[in-house]
Structure 1
Amino acid sequence: MIDETPVLDNHLHLDPDNHRGIDAVEDFARLGGTHLLVVNKPSWHLGVEADAGEDFRPVFERTIDIVEEASEVLEGRAWPVLGVHPGLISRLVDERGYSPDEAREIMHAGIDVAAEYVADGEALALKSGRPHYDVDDAVWEASNAVMRHAFEHGGDLGCAVQLHTEASEDLTEVAEWAEEAGMERQRVVKHYAAGRLEGPTPSVMSDKERLERAAERSEPFLMETDYVDDPDRPGAVLGPKTVPRRVRWLLEEGHDAAVRNAHVETPARVYGIDTEATLE
């Protein structure tokens, strides 16, 4: 821990079979990190070319396994976040010949399987979203339908949904879609967020400029690295030591309230987790 505070990285990936895996968790813990939300890697990065919902199950099971190992290393614990990366639609349509509607159904089915793990208490939240790059109208509409399907599960299960989307400081419409599906908008989390965001809860990339902006707003926010644990990109996106280092920096700058906001109050508000009670 750092000055008795929990330290949560809200979004990173671990690849125990092809890259650092638990070694990255140990780096995080050594610097003072205590809690992790581990998001499954895109299915095709783990060698899974999905044609049906059940094809995603090995990806989810492997993520749950590494989360259990990570929890043994951490002073707090880790939780899995499971779902379907929105970039899969381009792989299905552009590379594998599916229509946007067929791709949507495959991705819907993957979300359905992920939701089973949340319902059983084996995962904390769902992951969905839409492409952050230009796509045609049919792919965009199918992607929005997948995201809204995830919100339906979020509403039914009372769980959060982490989103991978285009860069934006206003996703109010998306938050409204979640509310229409029965979710509280605070449980919609925009991963890779800047320091300002209207609509969902921002999970702020942990560079100093973005964090300073988030700290000064005094609105709920989370911190993340989006570490991808990829042997071809060893430092991408930010390394596993980054969040503990930025927490130390925020405290040195006098942002004690922002640290508590990001690592205690917002995790409780969004996910219903207690990062203090789960410390050893």
Structure 2
Amino acid sequence: MSEDLGTPVLDDHLHLDPEHGRGLDAVRDFVRLGGTHMIVVNKPSWHLGVEAETPDDFRPVFETTVDVVERASALLDGRAWAVLGVHPGLVSRLVDERDLAPPAARDLMRGGLEVAAEYVDGGRALGLKSGRPHYEVTDEVWDASNEVTRHAFALGAEHDCPVQLHTESAEDLTELAEWAEEEGLARERVVKHYAGGRLAGPTPSVMSEKDSLRVAAEAGEPFLMETDFVDDPEKPGAVMGPKTVPRRVRWLREEGYGDAVRTAHVETPELAYGIDTVGTLTRET
């Protein structure tokens, strides 16, 4: 029997790998602790054995993700959604290991995002994932990555969907939010994955550490909560487990941050993604 925390509980960014990882067993753990909704992001393509040479080569990665999302939704009291895209770290594999020029790597990654946008149009994905490396790269690779990111924003505007970002750690990413607005995408619909408790620019998806959550809760601004669960049996302790967000929701309430729980799990999902976490519950909270 699952715990009822009296609220929708959304993990904003995690991975599920039914073939190599825990897959649906991780969803069951999430549900038992009171989790109701999740946004599942496709793993980096090469983690699923895909070394893309054309944009269409990303389709098996996306199909794996939308399939597990459908199966996860059947277990949840709410539902799961897919966010699909091209991990920004791919640029280094393409340039450093496959000797592609940065513009060629850029074009392949932009093409992969265009394939992901087809899934948004078909109602099988909620949004897109893009960004830039969080580590040092050459100026040419950095420029190519920024061009990929801007293309993701343009696609988000064109297809009326949010964009999740994987970027360097920062407390101010106003420039990226401004780029999104220049492409026609509202900054609220740009979500910074793996954020700390304080962020200017995009909507922060805060890692569910107590210190970061306390900062976000006290700021009184829109934010989401995530684990970045990697679902990799070779890295069992990497990032956070699927039980973490429900446990942190309980802790936030115990600490007197009930308003912040509603912000993170009801109001901000509507603001950033246009999703109704209350209306999609199959049981009353």
TM-score bracket relative to the smaller structure? over 0.9
Aligned residue-pair number: 280
Residue of structure 1 in register with 2:78 after alignment: 76
Query: In structure 2, what is the equivalent of residue 232 of structure 1?
Result: 234
In the other structure, the counterpart of 2:196 is 194
After TM superposition, what 4+ stretches of structure 1 lie above 4 angstroms from structure 2? none
| Partner Cα distance (2:227, 2:125) in 1 | 20
The answer (yes or no) to whether the contact 1:63–1:80 under 8 Å persists in 2 is yes
Q: Is the CA contact (8 Å cut-off) linking 2:50 and 2:57 kept in structure 1?
A: yes
User: Which deviates the most, 35-44 or 233-242?
Assistant: 233-242
Q: RMSD across aligned C-alpha pairs, in angstroms?
A: 0.6
Letter in 1 for 2:106: R
2:212 is the counterpart of 1:210: yes
**Deviation digits for residues 139-184 of structure 1, max 9, x if unmatched?**
0000000000000011111111000000000000000000000000
Q: Does 1:254 align with 2:256?
A: yes
Structure 1 CA distance, aligned partners of 2:50 and 2:5? 42
TM-score by structure 1 length? 0.99
Alpha-carbon shift at residue 251 of structure 1 (Å): 0.5
Aligned partner of 1:107 in structure 2 is: 109
Which residue, out of 180, 183, 188, partners 2:182? 180
Work out the CA distance in 2 between the residues paired with 1:60 and 1:171.
Answer: 28
Distance 2:130 2:154 in 1: 12
Give distance in 1, aligned partners of 2:100 and 2:244: 39
Deviation at 1:61, TM superposition (A): 0.5
Gaps of 5+ in 1: none
Q: Do the aligned partners of 2:5 and 2:34 also contact (CA within 8 Å) in 1?
A: no
Unaligned segments of structure 2, at least 5 residues: none
Distance 2:63 2:212 in 1: 34
Structure 1 counterpart of 2:52, which letter? A
| Cα drift, residue 135 of structure 1 | 0.1
Query: What is the CA-CA distance between 1:124 and the residue it aligns to?
Result: 0.2
SS at match of 1:279: coil
The equivalent residue for 1:141 is: 143
Secondary structure of residue in 1 paired with 2:11: strand
Q: Residues of 1 paired with 2:16 and 2:100: CA distance?
A: 29
2:9 aligns to what?
Answer: 7
| Amino acid across the alignment from 1:57 | R
TM-score, with structure 2 as normaliser: 0.97
Give yes or no for the alignment of 1:21 onto 2:23: yes
Which one of 128, 131, 145 corresponds to residue 129 of structure 1? Answer: 131
Structure 2 CA distance for aligned equivalents of residues 257 and 199 of structure 1: 22
Instruction: Output one character per residue of 1:64-111: Cα deviation in whole Å (capped at 9) or x when no partner.
Output: 000000001100000000000000000000011111011001101000
